Chain A
Amino acid sequence: MISMDNLKIKKIEKIFGKDNVLSQLEDRYPYAFDVIEQGDDVSIPDIVVFPENKTQIQEIVKFANENELPIIARGAGTNQVGSCIPKKNGIVLHFSKMDKILEIDEANLNCTVQTGAIVGNIQNEVEKRGLFFPPDPSSLAVSTIGGAIALSASGPRHFKYGGTRDYIIDLEIITATGEIIHTSSKTPKNVAGYNLTQLFVGSEGTLGIITEATLKLIPKPDVQRVMLAFFDTIEDSAGAVSSIIKHCLRPSTIDLMDEKTIETIEKFSPTGILKIAQACLIIEVDGTEIDVQDQIEKIISVCNNHHACEIKFAKNQAESDKIWFARRQAFSSVAKLNFDIVTEDIVVPPSKLVDMVKKIQEISKKYDLVITIMGHSGDGNLHPNFSLDLRDEDQKNRYKLAEKEMFDYVIELGGTIAGEHGIGFLKKNHIGMVNSELNLQFMKKIKEVFDPKNIFNPEKML
């Protein structure tokens, strides 16, 4: 194990203060991990630091660049693709202490936050002022805005509102040479030059360190209502999704759970509102009271046309909370099924949803693996959850084959293997499935321009 020499440690302690540096093995070890299971191949960072201001980050980046040390930005470490794993050891910057909301500018409908600000906190703070920041990754209670930007995260509301990438006005970045740049201006529009902002969104910490972000805000919808529609066949549920899209109805979310997911929720935390059926759609509608009522009526009629076997809708906030509670139980229930849970993140054209779901069910049988399916059906984004024990070599191999077959089919349908979780380390070998050789060459050149010494999050994405 490479470890940092004392001189370097002393220098880093001088930048951050002793309290903000972890150099002992037992303190660094937890930072070798994020969500993914790595088996026995563990890369432990040489040092972990807790920046409190951008000057410190500038100094550490300069130091890392001079010494050619890897530098890995870490928010809450909740990404699903091993993006925070220090594959080449080096310096981990944990941004837990840079979590402030610096300004909420109501006159210009934006807010500026530090990179470690927690997404859920940002939402709560702006909502107190009647404003809305829609991106809703499921980890928002802990995940940071810096992480959400770096991984271009989104959630159920993407269907109507878009994801993190659609709400970034300006980013403050520290470059490999330790200089500060702004990718845009704090104005609603700016087309002067290449769109550097969007280049950094989803760059997974490989191009520079995001220190601050200015986010776009919109008015908060007056009311939100949620409903459940159960279907006897996957085809019917997918048909309902297509019709909703075709009729230009815009619920904020159309999420899907398959029978296996519903069964698992009922097994571990019975909710009293779910019905065992082939498929269940969770549809949330928001807007003005009149608009919402109108939409709900139309959606109910669409679901009925597609033979929904039961429709339940929340008449008040308590019932709505109950439904969302059931939805939130989905992941935790599936997590209880076995030792490991691997969540995939595939996207197909929404019109191909049925084919994809059927294929996953077929793969589940073929490889004898438990796969529960949930996802954001309105966007064609599915999260098949493999529930297994990765310590078992046989299961692991079957999973690898199943994943490959699933990805091949996704590409056949014109889809992609990453919708909102990123590529990171885990899917690095598959990035070529969705990108041509020329695409990848351009990407590598971009990386070289920003980070010639390859210090920023090496071994990720490309």
Chain B
Amino acid sequence: MKNFYDYKDEIYTCSRCGLCQSVCPIYEVTKKETTVSRGFFSLLNGIIKGHLKFNKKIRKNIDTCLNCNKCKDYCPSGIDAEKIIISAKIASYNYAPLWKKFILRGLYSKKFLNLASFIKLYLIFPILNFNKIGKILYEFLKPNIQYKKQSTNKSSDLKVAIFAGCINNYFNPSSLNAMKMILEQNGIKYSTPDFDCCTMPAYNIGDIENFKKFAKKNLAKIPAEIDYILFDCATCKKAFKIYIELFEGEEKQKAQNIFDKCKHVNEFLLEQNIDLPQIKDKAFYHTPCHLDCESKTIELMQKMDIEIIPSEKRCCGSAGLFFIENAKISNTLAQKKAHEIQASKSELIITDCPLCRLGLLKGLIFDKIDKKIVNFAEIIAKNLKNDTKV
């Protein structure tokens, strides 16, 4: 992985045309150049030139980046802003907020996660249910829906492993339950290796040591004889893609081989051509910024006769710990999303990322809009259940 100063030329390549301002969701809210790629690149270039030094203030500015990649897709000079900003976060890790580092300690520890899961946090929140934040967390953590499979005579030789994201695994397994049920219904055997957190939050804060440590751990736990590794979280899958860049030589090739087998559940279901229920409905679909199989997801929906209501592709504002650190910006983004959902008049609101679900929930509850948000896998599982012809 390249370090910050290796990106000297790429940073210089930014021609400061300013077009990133038209797509950056953060700039749309703050309207300040200190929080958009062009501004970041001016700052980073200033560091390279020796005009500035990394410090808490610069760190605070670059920490407003959501890593949503909107500017990368739009940049006339083709600059990969995300990689450069992450390299700057690694270089300025010392200046990252302490509370963030503290929260991450929790993610690194399975004991802590198991404990948090055991307590069933949602039981605490009904007490807070009268307050908006309590209500959001309650809604977010509560519904643990089980999907029971029907008898089936289908069988498959595929061997798959499930990589369950932390939120889906420890806090709200509904989407995980749905994914397992769909696999079982199609006779696909799966294993659930004892993976650690993908540690994307560590990557995003610039804690490259822990990111690499857990990358090694997770890669080592991939069973040898396996056809696919399935993900129900777009960000976890992205982590496996980034793992490749951490290594050299043989190790790199190994990580690449493993990533080639990584599939988001949506693309897996489409490619395996499994039986799908017919929904016949209109839906509002929120594409997670990190989802790398949007077109396949849409194809899958079309096969299920779901009509997608066109919407702006804007980040929901959750983005890891962003929603805590920059609560004001995050809330504005969530509310923009809520307005879009309201305008779509759709009752079916689908997304594919647990944190996006939190973002959408937040917007809806802040704006007192009474609508439920579901994971796409749950829509399939729920309707497979009613579909007794299997």
**What is A's interface to B at a CB cutoff of 8 Å?**
22, 24-27, 29-35, 40, 42, 50, 76-78, 94, 96-97, 99, 118, 120, 139, 141-143, 268, 331-332, 335-336, 339-341, 391
Contacts of B33 in A (CB 8 A): 30-31, 77, 94
**B343 to nearest A CB, angstroms?**
16
Are A96 and B32 in contact, CB atoms less than 8 angstroms apart? yes
Are B17 and A29 in contact, CB atoms less than 8 angstroms apart? no
Please name the residue on chain A nearest to B57 by beta carbon: A26
Are A50 and B57 in contact, CB atoms less than 8 angstroms apart? no
Contacts of B21 in A (CB 8 A): 76, 142
**A124 to nearest B CB, angstroms?**
12
**A278 to nearest B CB, angstroms?**
25
Judged by a CB distance under 8 angstroms, whether B49 is at the interface is yes
Please name the residue on chain B nearest to A80 by beta carbon: B17
Known: A27-B57, A35-B16. 19 other contacts (CB 8 A): A24-B57, A26-B34, A26-B43, A26-B52, A27-B34, A27-B61, A30-B34, A30-B38, A34-B18, A94-B32, A99-B31, A139-B17, A139-B18, A139-B19, A142-B21, A335-B17, A335-B77, A339-B9, A340-B15
Shortest Cβ-Cβ A-B pairs, 8 listed = A332-B76, A96-B31, A30-B39, A141-B22, A26-B57, A30-B42, A142-B22, A30-B33
Are B31 and A97 in contact, CB atoms less than 8 angstroms apart? yes
Are B78 and A141 in contact, CB atoms less than 8 angstroms apart? no
Judged by a CB distance under 8 angstroms, whether B2 is at the interface is no
Please name the residue on chain A nearest to B78 by beta carbon: A336
**B284 to nearest A CB, angstroms?**
23
Contacts of B32 in A (CB 8 A): 22, 27, 50, 94, 96
Judged by a CB distance under 8 angstroms, whether B58 is at the interface is yes
- A33, A96, A99, A120: residue with the most chain B Cβ atoms closer than 10 Å: A33
Please name the residue on chain A nearest to B41 by beta carbon: A30
Q: How large is the interface on B (under 10, 10 to 19, 20 to 34, 35 or more residues)?
A: 20 to 34
Contact with A along B11-33 (1 / 0, CB 8 A): 01101111101100000000111
Are A142 and B15 in contact, CB atoms less than 8 angstroms apart? no
Contacts of B76 in A (CB 8 A): 331-332, 335-336
Contacts of A118 in B (CB 8 A): 22
Contacts of A97 in B (CB 8 A): 31
Taking CB atoms and an 8 Å cut-off, the chain B residues in 61-112 that contact chain A are 61, 75-78
Judged by a CB distance under 8 angstroms, whether B213 is at the interface is no
Are A142 and B18 in contact, CB atoms less than 8 angstroms apart? yes
Judged by a CB distance under 8 angstroms, whether B223 is at the interface is no
Contacts of B17 in A (CB 8 A): 35, 78, 139, 335
Are B77 and A77 in contact, CB atoms less than 8 angstroms apart? no
**B267 to nearest A CB, angstroms?**
26
**B100 to nearest A CB, angstroms?**
19
Please name the residue on chain B nearest to A391 by beta carbon: B12
Contacts of A25 in B (CB 8 A): 52, 57
Contacts of A35 in B (CB 8 A): 15-18
Contacts of B16 in A (CB 8 A): 33-35, 77
A141 to B74, CA, bound (A): 12
Judged by a CB distance under 8 angstroms, whether B46 is at the interface is yes
Please name the residue on chain B nearest to A341 by beta carbon: B15
Contacts of A391 in B (CB 8 A): 12
A56 to B234, CA, bound (A): 46
A94 to B58, CA, bound (A): 20
Taking CB atoms and an 8 Å cut-off, the chain B residues in 133-187 that contact chain A are none
Contacts of B61 in A (CB 8 A): 26-27
**A17 to nearest B CB, angstroms?**
14
A142 to B19, CA, bound (A): 6
Judged by a CB distance under 8 angstroms, whether B389 is at the interface is no
Judged by a CB distance under 8 angstroms, whether B368 is at the interface is no
Which of A24, A40, A332 meets B77, CB within 8 Å? Answer: A332
Are A29 and B42 in contact, CB atoms less than 8 angstroms apart? yes
Please name the residue on chain B nearest to A31 by beta carbon: B33
A272 to B135, CA, bound (A): 53
Please name the residue on chain B nearest to A342 by beta carbon: B15
Judged by a CB distance under 8 angstroms, whether B3 is at the interface is no
Please name the residue on chain B nearest to A78 by beta carbon: B18
Contacts of A331 in B (CB 8 A): 76
Are A29 and B52 in contact, CB atoms less than 8 angstroms apart? yes
A50 to B34, CA, bound (A): 13
Which of A30, A76, A142, A332 meets B43, CB within 8 Å? Answer: A30
A40 to B48, CA, bound (A): 11
Judged by a CB distance under 8 angstroms, whether B383 is at the interface is no
10 intermolecular pairs with C-beta atoms under 8 Å apart: A22-B34, A26-B34, A26-B43, A33-B16, A35-B17, A76-B21, A78-B19, A96-B31, A118-B22, A336-B76
**B71 to nearest A CB, angstroms?**
12
- A32, A50, A332: residue with the most chain B Cβ atoms closer than 10 Å: A332
A143 to B18, CA, bound (A): 9
Please name the residue on chain A nearest to B53 by beta carbon: A26
Are B49 and A40 in contact, CB atoms less than 8 angstroms apart? yes
A268 to B77, CA, bound (A): 11
A34 to B21, CA, bound (A): 13
Please name the residue on chain A nearest to B38 by beta carbon: A30
Contacts of B42 in A (CB 8 A): 29-30, 32-33
Contacts of A40 in B (CB 8 A): 49
Please name the residue on chain A nearest to B21 by beta carbon: A142
A373 to B301, CA, bound (A): 46
A139 to B16, CA, bound (A): 12
**A3 to nearest B CB, angstroms?**
14
A33 to B46, CA, bound (A): 11
A94 to B49, CA, bound (A): 25
A141 to B55, CA, bound (A): 33
Contacts of B39 in A (CB 8 A): 30
**B217 to nearest A CB, angstroms?**
37
**A347 to nearest B CB, angstroms?**
22
Please name the residue on chain B nearest to A334 by beta carbon: B76
Contacts of A139 in B (CB 8 A): 17-19
A42 to B45, CA, bound (A): 12
A33 to B42, CA, bound (A): 8
Are B18 and A76 in contact, CB atoms less than 8 angstroms apart? yes
A339 to B34, CA, bound (A): 23
**B59 to nearest A CB, angstroms?**
9
A77 to B36, CA, bound (A): 13
Please name the residue on chain A nearest to B27 by beta carbon: A96
A34 to B43, CA, bound (A): 13
Contacts of B9 in A (CB 8 A): 339
A30 to B61, CA, bound (A): 11
Please name the residue on chain B nearest to A268 by beta carbon: B78
A120 to B18, CA, bound (A): 14
Which of B31, B58, B75 meets A26, CB within 8 Å? Answer: B58
Are B43 and A29 in contact, CB atoms less than 8 angstroms apart? yes
A24 to B15, CA, bound (A): 24
A29 to B57, CA, bound (A): 12
Please name the residue on chain A nearest to B10 by beta carbon: A339
Please name the residue on chain A nearest to B9 by beta carbon: A339
Please name the residue on chain B nearest to A44 by beta carbon: B51
**A31 to nearest B CB, angstroms?**
6
Are B55 and A26 in contact, CB atoms less than 8 angstroms apart? yes
A26 to B57, CA, bound (A): 7
**A87 to nearest B CB, angstroms?**
16
Please name the residue on chain A nearest to B56 by beta carbon: A26
Contacts of B22 in A (CB 8 A): 118, 120, 141-142
Contacts of A42 in B (CB 8 A): 46, 49, 51
